[in-house]
Amino acid sequence: MEFFSKLLFLHEVASSHGKGLDELLIYVHLLMASLFVGWLAFFVIAVFKHRRSVNPKADYVGARSHFSTYAEIGVAAIEGLLLLGFAVPLWAKSVDKFPEEKDATVIQIMGQQFAWNAHYAGPDGKWGKQDVKFASSTNPFGLDSGDAGAKDDITCLREKFLIPVGKEVICKISSMDVIHCFKLPRMRVTQDAIPGMSIPVHFKPTKVGDYTITCAQLCGNLHSTMRGEFKVVEQAEFDKWFAEKAKAGGGGGFE
């Protein structure tokens, strides 16, 4: 697997479900490669052997074997196998089998031309009141600063945010203006951020380190600069950061 993933130039994976996904990628590519090589070999031999200079008279019937039918059925069967064995269960796991919110780090993610923002409920675990009438480009989550529940909410506007390693993360992804796409290549996570919707994804990071968020949906002139960053850290470091942020932020850290 390691070898094949290098062969496919895949970015090193850093989440637990990413492994299965990479396996699927590898198997599909093996299927593709074998089909391609097989067909290409046939193609080259056919063209070479039946050029006019060696074969001046064509054969009206041509190939008489039924091998191609078996090959076609074989392709269909393997595709079906990959479908039922990998793609469907992997997808079902990622969109249906959500962890309990209390066992996970829950973050709201808001895309904005051209930046990513994160919002944690804070130590009290309660989201502050949010309403679109408060929303602006400096308050993308529309937090009501007068609300008590919002006092300890943590917002990371256009800045790096942290998540603990080895624990499920749930990101609720949305956007305030146009469609963006929250893509964490190394986590093997991609989800469009669509205004008017809040779509959850979950993953479990397995390696500490710095990671980028790519925006994978055309969102305007600076689409290519809409880079976000987050850091996966040990739980202890996360807790420290979290407490500090909650204290300093008071009310969400609006500018």
Partner 1 sequence: MSDHTHSGAAEAHEHGHDHAGHNKIYFVIGAALLVGTIVTVLARYWEFNSVALTVAVALFIASIKAFLVAGYFMHLLSEKKMIYLVLATTAAFLVGMVGLILWSDADQPRGSTQKIHYVP
Partner 2 sequence: MHTATTHAQAHGHGHEHAHEHHEPGFWAKYIFSTDHKMIGIQYGITSLAFLFFGFLLMLAMRQQLANPGQPVPFVGKLLEKTLGADAASGGVMQGDLYNAFGAMHGTIMVFLAIVPLAFGAFGNYVTPLQIGAPDMAFPRLNMASYHLYFWGGVVMLVSFFIPGGAAKSGWTSYSPLATLADMDRAINGQTMWLIGMVLLITSSLLGAVNFIATIIQLRAKGMTWMRLPFFVWAQFVTAFLLLLAFPPLEAAGLMQLADNVLKTSFFLPTGLVTSGGPVPVSGGGSPLLWQHLFWFLAHPEVYVLILPAMGIVSEVIANNTRKPLWGYKSMVYAALGIGFLAFIVWAHHMYLTGMGTKISTFFQTTTMMISIPSVIILTALFISLWGGSIRFNTPMLFALAFLPMFGIGGLTGLPLGFNASDIYLHDSYYVIGHFHYVVAPGTIFGLFAGVYFWYPKATGRFMSEFWGKVHFFGSLVCMNLIFAPMFVQGLRGMSRRMYDGGATYFGNGVDPGVLWLNKFITHAALGLLIFQLPFIWNFFSSLFVGKKVESDNPWQATTLDWQTPTPPPHGNFATEPVVYRGPYEYSVPGAAKDFIPQGQKS
Nearer to partner 2, 7 or 148 (CB): 7
> What mask of x and - would describe binding to partner 1 in positions 77 to 116, judged by CB under 8 A?
------------------xx-x---------x--------
DSSP for 204-230 reads -B-S-EEEEEEE-S--STTGGG--EEE
Give me the least distance between CB of 60 and ligand CUA, in Å please: 57
Residue of 19, 158, 172, 223 that binds ligand CUA (CB under 6 A):
223
In the shown chain, the binding pattern of residues 83 to 112 toward ligand CUA, with x for contact by CB under 6 A and - for none, equals ----------------------------x-
* Residue for token pair 């990071």: 205
Segment near ligand CUA (CB under 6 A); pick from 102-110, 161-169, 216-224, 241-249: 216-224
C-beta of residue 185 within 8 angstroms of C-beta of residue 11: yes
In contact, 165 and 193? CB cutoff 8 Å: no
190 φψ region: left (φ > 0), alpha (ψ -120 to 50), beta (else): beta
- Quote the DSSP letter at residue 141: T
> Which residue, 55 or 235, has its beta carbon nearer to partner 2?
55
Radius of gyration, CA atoms only, the chain:
25
Kindly report the backbone phi and psi dihedral angles of residue 135, in degrees, each rounded to the nearest multiple of 5, phi listed first: -70, 140
The closest alpha carbon to 79, from 117, 124, 24, belongs to: 24
Which range touches ligand CUA (CB under 6 A), out of 8-16, 125-133, 149-157, 218-226?
Answer: 218-226
Residues binding partner 1 (CB under 8 A): 95-96, 98, 108, 127, 130-132, 135, 141-142, 172, 174-176, 195-200
Q: Which residues of this chain interact with ligand HEA, rule CB under 6 A?
A: 35-36, 39-40, 43
